Amino acid sequence: MSEENTRSSNFITQIIDEDLQSGKYKEIVTRFPPEPNGYLHIGHAKSICLNFGIARDYKGLCNLRFDDTNPSKEDTEYVESIKNDVRWLGFEWNGEPRYSSNYFDKLYGYAIELIQKGLAYVDELTPEEMREYRGTLTEPGKNSKYRDRSIEENLQLFEKMKNGEIEEGKACLRAKIDMASPFMCMRDPVIYRIKFATHHQTGDKWCIYPMYDFTHCISDAIEGITHSICTLEFQDNRRLYDWVLDHISIENHPHQYEFSRLNLEYAITSKRKLNLLVSEHYVDGWDDPRMPTISGMRRKGYTPAAIREFCRRIGVTKQDNTIEMSALETCVREDLNENAPRRMVVLDPLKVVIDNYPEDKVEMCEAQNHPQKPEMGTRLVPFTRELYIEREDFREEGNKKYKRLVIGKEVRLRYGYIIKAESCEKDEAGNITCVHCSYVPGSIGCDVPEHKPKGVIHWVSAKEGCSANAEVRLFSCLFNVPNPGAAEDFLSTINKESLKVVENAVIELELQKSDKQETYQFERTGYFCVDSKLSTKDKKIFNLTVALKEDNSKSAS
């Protein structure tokens, strides 16, 4: 799969084209502004590709800015994970990472300016009273009894808030706009609150912190952002974005543009809910391969190119929709089909003994690393008297549709000999434990007269030093309904069969020695990668990335 080299066209790029043509801007500056309170997910990937992609396509700049205004939920762990994810996706930000906390002194100054203009006041309503005074979608709110305080009193009280002289939750600073506005975000929104928490960047310098809506627009203006791009849930907040910038003495005034967020079937993208899955141990951390986080997809074996292509294909619109999981998997499958080396792995081993093959002989068979890419070279796989095949690849009796190993019939071993099943052994319960076969000498890589096998199966040598045991993890979607977020209790929709652990799969010895997290195609099975978190030197663990073909049941991921 080759990535699109031409510039993607959407309503945002059309606006940018007009702005450049009119001379409104000479250079485009965008930003990616995550809150460092969790790991990035597939929805963030869309925003990353959009903002950094615009900067790349227009030879502009894209800032990475952490909107770190809530220290009680933020952590440097999240900061570092976000940096890693952006770089892994193939992007680099302009200069050093930025933080909203870099601007706390300026933000405080602008808050003072609003107070001095009579456009902000310190409110001491209780949280319950504030909710009551706010009104509803159909009824206007009512003014706080503290709304008409003098400028001098508000300045004194705000100073007390800053100095830690007022208890947390007992006061806040609100913008004075319109309690009767049809837009809830304009009903005197809180712009500063008290929070006695150590900040990961500023330490204990502050005990008051600005709210996101107050911080975000000013940060954009300070950084000279030309196009502030966010998702549709912030559409109404654009009024507050503009109001703040219109009423403070700041030169730049960026414009906010909204696009539809990415909703993916069988997935949750609420950071609060994702955090709950992690904290309550429903999953193995933020990077669990079943999570829709970028780190989870990386651990699962997804590639940056596949995710970028997915984001390109779904496009940028204002229309809310839900994307099928198969659309993402198709991009992953296409990329891996093009680039993943092939290996032979047996997940459910059944021993085969080739009775007419020398017992101590080890013969090296040349195997292609990629059948369509000779430049990827070949490898040697050992052929021995005893080997393993998939249990499902043998039957005592078969029909015309069954093209694998059957008593009295022949198949070709991939890259190896033609073999014929002669008999099988069973245990007391009637389970087949071993298949005895004969091989056709001289049949490696060529046809042999009077031998026309109808099928090809993969295999791994059973001889010590030729193969190794490994654990393979097969994943299905974490949720068993397409829209778990709509459920009254999303935890009730968790798929309890989302992880199946296969012990003692038999792999080519080369795979056991692999130290890097490369994704492989296990021939006739699917694409798998080394688990970067759980694998050890002595035992490799492989994660299912994606099946070879789409699962029409919608249960596989």
Written as one letter, the residue type at 265 is E
3-state secondary structure of 131: helix
Q: State how far the alpha carbon of 319 is from the alpha carbons of 267, 292, 307, 322, 485, in Å.
A: 19, 22, 21, 10, 19
Burial of 522 (0-12, 13-18, 19+ CB in 10 A): buried
Question: CATH topology for 345-458?
Answer: Ribosomal Protein L25; Chain P (2.40.240)
Q: Is 35 a catalytic residue?
A: yes
> Cα separation of 201 and 383, whole Å?
60
Nearest to residue 2, comparing CAs of 302, 216, 288, 312?
Answer: 312
3-state secondary structure of 259: strand
Residue 134 backbone dihedrals phi, psi, to 5 degrees: -70, -25
Stretch(es) of the chain classified as CATH 3.90.800.10: 104-211
Q: Count the alpha carbons within 13 Å of 306 in the hemisphere toward its beta carbon.
A: 26
Instruction: Given the residues 73, 83, 261, 312, select the one marked as catalytic.
Output: 261
Instruction: Given the residues 187, 193, 271, 385, select the one marked as catalytic.
Output: 271
At residue 490, the pLDDT reads 97
Residue 458 backbone dihedrals phi, psi, to 5 degrees: -95, 165
> Cα separation of 387 and 462, whole Å?
4
Contacts with 164 (C-beta within 8 Å, 6 or more apart), sequence order: 196, 207
Contacts with 308 (C-beta within 8 Å, 6 or more apart), sequence order: 3, 49, 89, 90
Stretch(es) of the chain classified as CATH 2.40.240.10: 345-458
**307-316 burial string, b = 16+ CB within 10 Å, else e?**
bbbbbbebeb
Per-residue pLDDT of the chain (557 residues; tens, 9 = 90+): 444 455 678 999 999 999 999 999 999 999 999 999 999 999 999 999 999 999 999 999 999 999 999 999 999 999 999 999 999 999 999 999 999 999 999 999 999 999 999 999 999 999 999 999 999 999 999 999 999 999 999 999 999 999 999 999 999 999 999 999 999 999 999 999 999 999 999 999 999 999 999 999 999 999 999 999 999 999 999 999 999 999 999 999 999 999 999 999 999 999 999 999 999 999 999 999 999 999 999 999 999 999 999 999 999 999 988 999 999 999 999 999 999 999 999 999 999 999 999 999 999 999 999 999 999 999 999 999 999 999 999 999 989 899 999 999 999 999 999 999 999 999 999 999 999 999 999 999 888 999 999 899 999 999 989 999 999 999 999 999 999 999 999 999 999 999 999 999 999 998 998 777 789 999 999 999 999 899 988 889 999 999 998 865 544 33
Stretch(es) of the chain classified as CATH 1.10.1160.10: 261-341+467-557
Chain length of the chain: 557
Residue 106 backbone dihedrals phi, psi, to 5 degrees: -65, -40
Nearest to residue 531, comparing CAs of 298, 314, 258, 243?
Answer: 298
* Beta-strand relationship, 467-475 and 541-547: parallel
Q: Is 271 a catalytic residue?
A: yes
Whether residue 354 contacts residue 438, with contact meaning beta carbons closer than 8 Å, is answered with yes
Instruction: Given the residues 35, 334, 471, 550, select the one marked as catalytic.
Output: 35
Q: Is 409 a catalytic residue?
A: no
Residue 378 backbone dihedrals phi, psi, to 5 degrees: -130, 170
Backbone torsion region of residue 80, taken as left when φ is above 0, otherwise alpha when ψ lies between -120 and 50, otherwise beta: alpha
CATH number for 104-211 (one of 3.90.800.10, 3.10.20.30, 3.40.50.150, 3.50.50.60): it is: 3.90.800.10
At residue 454, the pLDDT reads 87
> Cα separation of 434 and 424, whole Å?
6
At residue 514, the pLDDT reads 77
What pTM was computed for the model?
A: 0.93
At residue 2, the pLDDT reads 47
CATH class label, 261-341+467-557: mainly alpha
Whether residue 528 contacts residue 301, with contact meaning beta carbons closer than 8 Å, is answered with yes
> Cα separation of 349 and 469, whole Å?
10
- DSSP designation for 399: -
Whether residue 256 contacts residue 12, with contact meaning beta carbons closer than 8 Å, is answered with no
